[in-house]
Amino acid sequence: MASKPFFLIGTIGLLLAMVGTIWDMLGYATMFFPSTFDLLFLWIYTIGLLLASFVFFGYKKYYNNSMGFVTFILTLVFIWFYPIAATIDLIGLAGILLDLGFFMFIGRLVLNGVLMILWGVNMILVREDTSVMGITLAAGILFIISGAFYCFVIIEIIGVLVFPISIIGDILFLPSSILAVISLFLSLK
């Protein structure tokens, strides 16, 4: 059994989040998947982020990183916006509420970007405590770049580049998650 169970839980969460991200990218590419499947995979993504947040609780517990606990709490608070916003959009309340669907989508991307930046900063802060400093540093940098692309959509509010920018954020999220999974898996000893 692993001596760092929070890292094991977080690794499983990152794998679930990657499945949700891949489905999100397929939805952008084809645009013909039913909305209920999108909502299902958004819940899978949310549960993945919830489980992945335990990594940062582990950073507090195992490496005494205070920012890890702050990131853990902020992740628990922020991630519930994703499925709530998507559910409101799916059942049509967004159209009733002044057509807020687009703004809820932008809000979801920006919150996701803030979380990715916090995750990246945490990984950079604990890199010297891990057994794989290079991989942890690379994952942290990629998380920050991915988060910056997600947050960039607030500048590009006219909507022309919103989907390409969010796709770039998704594409960068995948290798950063893979590197984080490798780093966490090697840190389980």
Q: Which of 81, 77, 87 is nearest to 106 (CA)?
A: 81
State residue 157's pLDDT score. Answer: 60
Share of the chain above pLDDT 90, in %: 2
- For 88-116, the pLDDT digits (tens) are 766 665 555 555 666 777 777 788 888 88
State residue 163's pLDDT score. Answer: 67
Asked if 55 and 179 count as a contact pair (C-beta separation under 8 A), the reply is no
State residue 1's pLDDT score. Answer: 40
Q: How far apart are alpha carbons 43 and 96 in whole angstroms?
A: 23
Residue 35 has pLDDT above 80, yes or no: no
Average pLDDT, the chain: 78
Least confident of 6-10, 129-133, 156-160, 164-168: 156-160
pLDDT band at 36 (very low <50, low <70, confident <90, very high): low
The b/e string for 145-163 (b: 16+ C-beta within 10 A; e otherwise) is bbbbbbbbbeeeeeeeebe
Is the model more confident about 124 or about 170?
Answer: 124
State residue 28's pLDDT score. Answer: 57
Least confident of 3-12, 68-77, 151-160: 151-160
Least confident of 9-18, 91-100, 144-153, 176-185: 91-100
